[in-house]
Structures are given as C-alpha cells and as structure tokens.
Amino acid sequence: MLTTVYLIAITAEAMSGALAAGRRNMDMFGVALIAFITALGGGTVRDILLGNFPVTWTQHPPYIYLTITAGLATMVLARFMHRLQQLFLILDAMGLIAFTIIGCNVALQLGYGLPVVIMAGIITGVFGGILRDILCNQTPQVLQHELYASVSLLVAGLYLLMRHFGVDEDITLLASFSTGLAMRLAAIRWHWSLPVFYYAPERWQN
C-alpha cells in the first residue's frame, strides 16, 4: 500500500511543482526541473544528510520518468487543474504522510536514534515543497500556512510509538494515515496554524 501511495504522491507533487513553475513563467526545462525537485527533493536531502548512498531515485529510473512526465503533462492539462483542487489537497496530504513514514523507515534501517528518525521523516515529507518554493523565489508555504510540517511530526511520532509497542504493521499504517489525513484536511478546512512570529523593529523604535 505504501508503495502505491508513494507513486501517487510523487506524481501529484510533480504536478504541483509544475504549476508553481508556470506561475513564474518558466520554460519547459524549468517546469520539468521544478517538478522533479518537488517530487523527489525531500528524499534526496534525507539520503544526503543520513549518508544513505546511492540516493534512492538513482536506483529507480522510473521515478525520474514518472515525475518529469507528470510535470510536462501539467503544461497541457493546466487549464483543467482548478477543477481538481480538492483532489490535489487530498493527494498532497497522502503524500506528506507516505513520505514521512518512508523517511522514518529509512533512518530506522540505518540504525539512527529516535530524534534523527523523526527529523528524517519530516525532511522527507516537507523538503520537496521547500525547495520548490525557494527556486520559485517565494517563502516556503509549508512554514507559513495551515498545519503541514506539524502534521508530519505527528505522523512520525504516532507511527514510531505504535511500532515501539509492537502493533501490527497494517494497523499502524492505517492509524497513521487516517490520523494524519484527518488533521491535515481539518487544518485546511478550519485554517488551523501555529502561532505566527511577527517582528517589525520599527514598532519599538518610536
């Protein structure tokens, strides 16, 4: 199940990256590059930080074909994308959860401690979007809008806790997915977010 969700997730993330590139009027190469980085950037950063070589996607060329094809296809399908906004939100939330769990498992297999395992999950979940926004010259959305990275943290914590107590793997995945998906969609619906830090020096200079 996790592999299937992962493939759906990288496709959806690639398409979201392509749309972001389109908003910045990038050419075809730029669209393909941003699509690829959005979909696979989080796992790449994770592997580099953990010393997990070779990087995962280099051993699975179909991931490259899938993400670039999805990005380029978005250029043709862009006029219909506004009708699929709700679907994209759900797929993005599923992707966040799948990436987080996969990142945790990679770190566990490498023998890292709990804090690193959790950070590996979060990095896998959110860093593709961060790289996308940086390359598109905008503040990363995952750090300023509805709960996103916090959902990744919750999913990582719940997944690892249930594993620690020996809960069946299928039940653990189902619980992690349902909890993370419900929290992310609720955050979008009711605009849940963490407190925002606003610093304006001029307010205290008078």
Structure tokens at 77: 């399908």
CA distances from 116 to 34, 50, 56, 130, 148 (A): 27, 9, 18, 19, 19
CA gap 151, 177 in Å, rounded: 11
pLDDT band at 85 (very low <50, low <70, confident <90, very high): confident
How large is the greatest C-alpha to C-alpha distance in the chain, in angstroms?
A: 61
Confidence band for 129, pLDDT divided at 50, 70 and 90: very high
Quote the CA–CA distance of 24 and 51 in Å, as a whole number.
34
Q: What angle, rounded to 10 degrees, do the helices at 114-135 and 28-50 form? A: 160
3-state secondary structure at position 194: coil
pLDDT band for position 2 (50/70/90)? Answer: confident
**What is the C-alpha to C-alpha distance for residues 84 and 41, in angstroms, rounded to an integer?**
24
Question: What's the pLDDT tens digit per position in 137-160?
Answer: 988 888 877 899 999 999 999 999
pLDDT per residue as tens digits for the range 36-52: 999 999 999 999 999 99
Nearest-angstrom CA–CA distance, 178 and 183 = 8
Span 127-140, average pLDDT: 93
In this prediction, residue 200 carries a pLDDT of 73
What are the tens digits of pLDDT across the range 48-77?
Answer: 999 999 999 999 999 999 999 999 999 998
The residue ranges of every structural domain in the chain are 2-204
Q: Sorting pLDDT into bands at 50, 70 and 90, what band is 196?
A: confident
Give the separation between CA 75 and CA 124, rounded to whole angstroms.
26
